[in-house]
Amino acid sequence: MFESVTIKDIAKALGVSTSTVSRALNGSYEIGTETKKLVLEYAEKINYRPNPIALSLKEQKSHSIGVVVCEVANDYFSQAINGIESIAYNRGYHVIITQTHESFDRESANVKHLLSRHVDGLLVSLAAQTTDTSQYKYLLDKGFPIVFFDRAAPDLNTHKVVADNFQGSFNGTETLINSGFAKIAHLTNSNNLLISHERFDGYKAALDKHGIELRPEYIKHCNHGGMIQDEVELVLKELMALDDRPEAIFIGSDRLTISSMSILKKWGFKVPGDIAIAGFTNSDVVELFDPPLTVIRQPAFQIGQMATEMLIKTIESKWPVEEFTTEKVDTQLIVRSSSNKA
């Protein structure tokens, strides 16, 4: 069994007090140069490392940040996590990442686990199943630092960093309209998520602007956000089996966009000949697809960085933070041939 060396062990070996060892290790000016040198050389020789848990209990800080996301394999979230880590590690914070796989129960369990690890704050992107945000409200009321990114809780008063989902969705839908399509379906994430509402509103606004009637049978939700292939196949089957089926689909989530493209091609539909596609995704491989995919790309890395800056500022604030902001970041429309009229 591994046994770590403690300050007491060093003090005993050198015949000095534990407080002398502690001050020497922390670089205190109250300790003489010779004593400090003696302690530091001995500590290095026996490979002494401070116990981070003991330090966090003493300082009431663990210098760690908890991250709650649906899945790390998602292109958007992997890029956001890179942004989070790029800031956190430079500021002396470790990052503990947990995945919800779109489950509310797993999200709750992850938050409890992160709190048991004494994280200093949380960066949260809600699971698709989450409708009850009371655990976050309880923590925020106690002054615990939480910043939401991407999938924010609309009713909670704290910092948030989100993409301009409405405008991104509007731009993507209008691209399909400008290509000559009028029968445009919308496939999106769980209706529980604020981003789903914002992206639907952008889609609807583009239809309204061009005098195209909204057709309820063209709106489909995937409550697991594309993580369950059967769910995506079912809604696509329903759309493609309609007597007056859509000519194009605007897709409102990263994983759904990729899944839909591969399922439709597997079934023998030609894109864009039989069905045109545009959608949100941060995947770097979509330009290599046949055809290359028209996408709305979110600045995930930047969103991760901004959320982390906000969280660390809140953690390190000497006074309770009572004024909060929601930062909205522009998306990027990249038009390729999947949205062209054949």
pLDDT one-digit tens code per residue, 78-96: 999 999 999 999 999 999 9
pLDDT of 2 strictly over 90: no
Q: Are residues 209 and 226 in the same domain?
A: yes
Structural domain that includes position 27: 7-50
How many domains, the chain?
3
The label of the residue with tokens 């949260």 reads 124
| Degrees, nearest 5: CA angle 241-342-212 | 60
Q: Are residues 279 and 155 in the same domain?
A: no
**In the predicted model, what is the mean pLDDT of residues 217-230?**
90
In a domain, 55, yes or no: no
Least confident stretch, 13-27, 54-68, 94-108, 189-203 = 54-68
In a domain, 237, yes or no: yes
pLDDT given at position 116 = 87
CATH number at residue 18: 1.10.260.40
CATH number at residue 263: 3.40.50.2300
In a domain, 57, yes or no: no
CA 63 remoteness from chain centre: 20
State both tokens at 190. 């769980």
State both tokens at 8. 């007491």
pLDDT of 71 strictly over 80: yes
DSSP string, 90-158: HTT-EEEEEE-TT-HHHHHHHHHHHHHTT-SEEEE---TT----HHHHHHHHTT--EEEESS--TTS-S
In a domain, 148, yes or no: yes
Q: Are residues 182 and 148 in the same domain?
A: no
pLDDT given at position 59 = 56
In a domain, 88, yes or no: yes
In order of 35, 78, 120, 236, 292, the CA distances from 110 in angstroms are 45, 18, 15, 33, 37
In a domain, 333, yes or no: no
Percentage above 70 pLDDT, the chain: 96
- Cα–Cα distance for residue pair 329/86, rounded to 1 Å: 19
pLDDT of 238 strictly over 90: yes
State both tokens at 304. 């991760």
Q: Are residues 269 and 305 in the same domain?
A: no
Range list of H helices, 156-244 = 165-178, 194-209, 229-240
In a domain, 182, yes or no: yes
